[in-house]
């Protein structure tokens, strides 16, 4: 099931995708981030081309700035426990592939409250309540009036991405797109 407002590359039902994401996320196979990001890169470029066409129908592309890639952050305690943030690895790899299009910012969106893992919360309403108010923007001046692309590995209900998007827009981001490996 695709989630409204989120662009995903593959279905999580695909066993190869599921295995790759699980290996990256839970088994320390960080090198998979490069392969997944290479696939995501084309989708991200396609998405911003569509976004630019929609926002600039004459195709002048005046005043085009780099898009800011922002990975969905983890609470610091969870990241210390895991040792890395898989969304951050993906965003950094995408930025390396297209430095002329993207900058990657890992310290703007902050997970300021530890929440129950969304994977363990199965009800949509509970997921929304669980994640509500858990993000803040540390440096709003760096996203004010800018185009942002949120990067995450998997979207289920979209609650996390929706909350992150709302937080960034409230802090002044011009537009926020959301792209994931799988849905």
Whether 106 shows a pLDDT value over 70: the answer reads yes
Q: Write down the domain spans for the chain.
A: 6-182
State the pLDDT at residue 5: 80
**Nearest-5° angle of CA 40, CA 43, CA 46?**
150
- The token duo for 37 is 């990001």
- The correct CATH number of 6-182 out of 3.40.30, 3.40.1130, 3.40.50, 1.10.357 is 3.40.50
The total number of residues written for the chain in this structure: 183
Confidence of residue 58 (pLDDT cuts 50, 70, 90): low
Q: Which residues of 82-100 are buried (b: 16+ CB within 10 A; e: fewer)?
A: eeebbbbbbbbbbbebeee
Rounded alpha-carbon distances, angstroms, from residue 102 to 86, 111, 177 = 18, 22, 13
**Count of other CB atoms within 10 angstroms of residue 112:** 15
Higher per-residue confidence, 115 vs 161? 161
Whether 74 shows a pLDDT value over 80: the answer reads yes
* pLDDT per residue as tens digits for the range 117-173: 656 656 666 767 778 999 999 999 999 999 999 999 999 889 899 999 999 999 999
């Amino acid at each position: 099931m695709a989630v409204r407002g989120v662009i995903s590359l593959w279905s999580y039902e695909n066993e190869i995708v599921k295995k790759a994401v699980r290996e990256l996320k839970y088994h320390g196979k960080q090198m998979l981030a490069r392969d997944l990001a290479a696939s995501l890169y084309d989708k991200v470029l396609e998405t911003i081309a569509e976004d630019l066409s929609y926002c600039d129908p004459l195709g002048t592309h005046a005043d085009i700035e780099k898009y800011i890639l922002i990975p969905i952050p983890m609470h610091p305690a969870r990241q210390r426990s895991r040792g890395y943030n898989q969304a951050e690895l993906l965003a950094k790899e995408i930025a390396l592939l297209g430095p002329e299009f993207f900058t990657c910012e890992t310290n703007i969106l902050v997970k300021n409250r530890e929440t129950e893992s969304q994977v363990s919360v199965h009800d949509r309403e509970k997921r929304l309540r669980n994640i509500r108010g858990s993000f803040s923007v540390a440096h709003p001046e760096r996203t004010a009036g800018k185009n942002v692309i949120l990067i995450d590995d998997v979207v289920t209900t979209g609650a996390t991405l929706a909350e992150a998007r709302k937080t960034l827009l409230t802090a002044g981001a011009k537009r926020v797109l959301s792209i994931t490996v799988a849905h």
